Amino acid sequence: MTDIVFSSWGGEIIETRGDETQNQTSIQMLDLPEYFKQDEKIKALMGWKGIVLRSPEVDIIDLCREYFEAVLAHSKTCDKCNYCKTGWEEMLEVFQDIATGEATEEDLEFMQSAAEAIVSNAKCSIGKSGPTPLFHALKYFADDFSQAVSGEKPVTKGTYYSKLTAPCLDACPIHLDIPKYIELIKDAKFAESLTVIRERLPLAGIVGRVCFRPCEKHCRRGNLDESISIKALKRFVADHEVAEQKEPEYEVTPSENNGQVAIVGAGPAGITCAYHLARKGHEVTIYESLDEPGGMSAVGIPDYRLPRSVLQREVQQIQKMGVSINYGQTIGKDLILSQLENDFDAVFIGMGAQDSTHMGIEGEDGEYQGFIPGLAYLREVNAGRDPYPQGKKVVVIGGGNVAIDCVRCSLRTAKEDIHLVYRRTRDEMPADEAEINDAEEEQVHFHFLTAPVRILAEDGKVVGLECIKMALGEPDASGRPRPVPVEGSEFVFDCDTIVSAIGQQVDLSMLAGMDDVQTTKWNTIVVDQYTKQSNRSNIFFAGDCETGPDALITACAGGRRAAHSIDRFIKTQPLEYDDNHYFDQLFETVKVYDPDEEILKVESKQRFQPSMLPSDRRKSTFDEVEQGLSAQEAVAEAERCLRCYQVATIAV
């Protein structure tokens, strides 16, 4: 970014006013895009870290006023700190007085001291960091303020956009208002907290158990001691409703313009899409191949991580809203997709990634007893069957979550010796760190820098796996070091069961005959990333079939976005991007979370971890390993939250 007139972002002062020949190269931690929307150039940014001014045309006082209005609107939603309650309003009044020529120099001094009082008394970031740009404006634009107060220079109105965010909220793919639902837990308003979650996510009990927690990785509390147990708090409010034997009351907005929508797949993407469409008053019919809902969260994720009862209850709630599910119906086999196109106003497809990736090694196609692809293995175990009871020594190949689930399931089906083979090191394993730790505790044997070469069989049965040692080379396209075989290091693993879990792929057979649906070289579907519309305008896709194998919360986020677009499509409204989309893009470069930020003046408090079944007990049972928080623990954990709301205003 080289067109900076002034910046105080992050405390680094860049000043080119009066010397426009200076060529500033960068601002630390900030890469402000040139445009907000296609034709709207970003002229200034005001937010929690200061001010960035790119155009001398921007009236700093009007920009401050706009920013203060946005902060005030959001600070009102809390109402907990006295200074915040009154201070922002009073400061905004000064800005209004400046615009009408009624303000004095004393008012500016008042503003400075009111802002200081907010900072020192506020309990959350709206108060702690919200006034930052005002201090910078009063200091570095003092002349502009004086001229405005004296009437020498009238205030010029500009065009702005403002948005409230928070590091956790921004990192969450479905953008749950995490600080809000945690604040309600602090006040023991558990049902209200769940309502906040359900504004976007209908599957709080599921996601509260197995989410990979991108929010916790961006939690500012983690800069001080440990991040908030956001996932466990979500689970707590969902479980609390069950314990209280309460039923959710979902609001359905009746619409004159409602339509009929077919959904293919009752996985997280399909279910979330159905929920949001039903809430908007549409009639939804789901077609699902299996005889139960949940997709991979039912037949992939094992019961010891996610009990089926939790899943079934959450889906039943959605059926009570009028969503109907036709089980045992495979689109492309029992019914063809074009039939759905004819019978419904729009179709959503959340078919996931149902095929295990081929390893491409000798013996893989030999149909040997004892060789099982990972997804098929988990599907069997999750249905209560051991797919190869004769097998006792298992080798699982892969480093992702599916591989970890396979080894942990093998333990629970009484296998004697369980090994995991991965071609890179532990540091590069894509599986969730917590899951790897759990598997280690359960005494799975890990073999890093090892790759499979050949499946060995006798009389049609697996007897071993030939492997080769690997070394790490230069980074590949994913940025991870490329594993390189070490010549002559081949060795044989004696084993009777081999499970391949190196990845999943989308099965595109349902789309046979629909050549216009665009796909990628990875067999995923090309859609508009925001609207989820494919190039066949009445068909929308999201979830793993769009992103490739990903996570529950990403699939739910995609399903929600698609529902919003389908609603507009049915009402013949254009599927244009809204401001949220542009802010999402902006926050990709203007980072909301700063991993290097030092959190000052906050007492360190230990995180409440959910308790776990002892590792010796859990190896022999599919009982849930992770236990929930008690109400007391949940409230205490919620009290650790710093409520890191931040407001950004841009001038265009």
Ligand X SMILES: Cc1cc2nc3c(=O)[nH]c(=O)nc-3n(C[C@H](O)[C@H](O)[C@H](O)COP(=O)(O)OP(=O)(O)OC[C@H]3O[C@@H](n4cnc5c(N)ncnc54)[C@H](O)[C@@H]3O)c2cc1C
Burial of 515 (0-12, 13-18, 19+ CB in 10 A): exposed
Place of tokens 């419904």: 344
Nearest CA to 200 out of 556, 540, 541 is that of 556
Beta bridge partners of 262: 285, 347
| CB contact set of 650 (below 8 Å; sequence gap of 6+) | 36, 42, 43, 44, 45, 46, 160, 161, 162, 586
The yes or no reply on residue 356 touching ligand X (CB under 6 A) is: no
Footprint of ligand X on 365-424 (CB under 6 A): 378, 401-402, 405
Q: Which of 205, 543, 610, 628 binds ligand X (CB under 6 A)?
A: 543
- The β-bridge partners of 325 are 286
The smaller minimum CB distance to ligand X, of residues 352 and 363, is found at: 352
Least distance to ligand X, CB of residue 323, Å: 15
* DSSP 8-class letter at 607: P
Closest of 165, 266, 268, 278 to residue 207, by C-alpha: 268
Of these, 544, 567, 626, 633, which contacts ligand X (CB under 6 A)?
Answer: 544
CA distance 652 to 61: 15
Q: Which of 297, 324, 332, 328 is nearest to 312 (CA)?
A: 297
Among positions 490-529, residues that touch ligand X (CB under 6 A) are: 510
**Residue 6 lies near ligand X (rule: CB under 6 A):** no
Q: Which of residues 226-265 bind ligand X (CB under 6 A)?
A: 264-265
CB of residue 127 vs ligand X: minimum separation in angstroms?
34
Residue 26: both structure tokens together:
């960068």
Contact 181, 196 (CB under 8 A): yes
Cβ at position 550, least distance to ligand X in Å? 5
CB of 625 to ligand X, least distance (A): 12
- Identity of the amino acid at 270: G
Neighbours of 91 (CB within 10 A): 23
Among 33, 214, 222, 332, binds ligand X (CB under 6 A): 332
174 binding ligand X? (CB under 6 A): no
Q: Which is nearer to ligand X, 265 or 363 (CB)?
A: 265
Contact call for residue 211 and ligand X (CB under 6 A): yes
Residues 6+ apart with CB under 8 A from 339: none
Q: Which span sits near ligand X by CB under 6 A: 132-140, 186-194, 349-357, 613-621?
A: 349-357
Choice from 269, 456, 525, 650 touching ligand X (CB under 6 A): 269
Cα-based torsion angle of the residue sequence 425, 428, 433, 435 in order, rounded to the nearest 10 degrees = -70
- Select the residue interacting with ligand X from 160, 161, 212, 587 (CB under 6 A): 212
Residue 255 contacts by C-beta under 8 Å, 6 or more apart in sequence?
Answer: 280, 281, 282, 571
Binds ligand X (CB under 6 A): choice among 147, 330, 529, 585: 330
Query: Quick one: which of 47, 208, 350, 610 contacts ligand X (CB under 6 A)?
Result: 350
Q: How many residues bind ligand X (CB under 6 A)?
A: 38
Choosing from 98, 266, 409, 455, the residue that interacts with ligand X (CB under 6 A) is 266
Nearer to ligand X, 340 or 570 (CB): 340
Q: How are strands ordered across the β-sheet holding 260-264?
A: 324-327, 283-288, 260-264, 346-349, 539-541
Among residues 53, 359, 539, 555, the one that binds ligand X under rule CB under 6 A: 555
Least distance from C-beta 293 to ligand X, angstroms? 7
Residue 277, interface with ligand X (CB under 6 A)? no
Residue 129, SS3 per DSSP: coil
CB nearer to ligand X: pick between 315 and 647: 315
Q: Which is nearer to ligand X, 405 or 626 (CB)?
A: 405
Instruction: For strands 539-541 and 497-500, give the pairing.
Output: unpaired
User: Smallest distance, Å, CB 302 to ligand X?
Assistant: 8
Specify the residue, 50 or 398, whose C-beta has the smaller distance to ligand X.
Answer: 398
Question: What is the smallest separation between the CB atom of 411 and ligand X, expressed in angstroms?
Answer: 15
Strand residues in 384-487 grouped as ranges (E): 393-397, 417-421, 445-447, 450-458, 461-475, 481-485
Residues sharing a CB contact under 8 Å with residue 76, sequence separation 6 or more, in sequence order: none
Minimal distance, residue 527 CB to ligand X, in Å: 13
Nearer to ligand X, 61 or 562 (CB): 562
Rank residues 150 and 509 by Cβ distance to ligand X and give the closer one.
509
Shortest CA distance to 641 belongs to which of 117, 227, 108?
227
What is the footprint of ligand X within residues 289-328 (CB under 6 A)? 289-290, 295-297, 300-301
Told to check if 645 binds ligand X by CB under 6 A, we report no
| Candidate ranges 49-57, 282-290, 355-363, 625-633; the one touching ligand X (CB under 6 A) | 282-290
Is 624 a residue that touches ligand X (CB under 6 A)?
Answer: no
Told to check if 66 binds ligand X by CB under 6 A, we report no
Q: Which is nearer to ligand X, 30 or 206 (by Cβ)? A: 206
Least distance to ligand X, CB of residue 213, Å: 9
Q: Find the shortest distance in angstroms from Cβ 393 to ligand X.
A: 22
Provide φ and ψ at 583, rounded to 5°. Answer: -70, -35
Q: Which stretch binds ligand X (CB under 6 A): 115-123, 286-294, 488-496, 524-532?
A: 286-294
Nearer to ligand X, 194 or 264 (CB): 264
- How far apart are the C-alpha atoms of 559 and 201, rounded to whole Å? 10
DSSP notation for 455-478: EEEETTEEEEEEEEEEEEEEE-TT
Residues that bind ligand X (CB under 6 A): 210-212, 264-270, 287-290, 295-297, 300-301, 330-332, 350-352, 354, 378, 401-402, 405, 510, 543-544, 550-553, 555
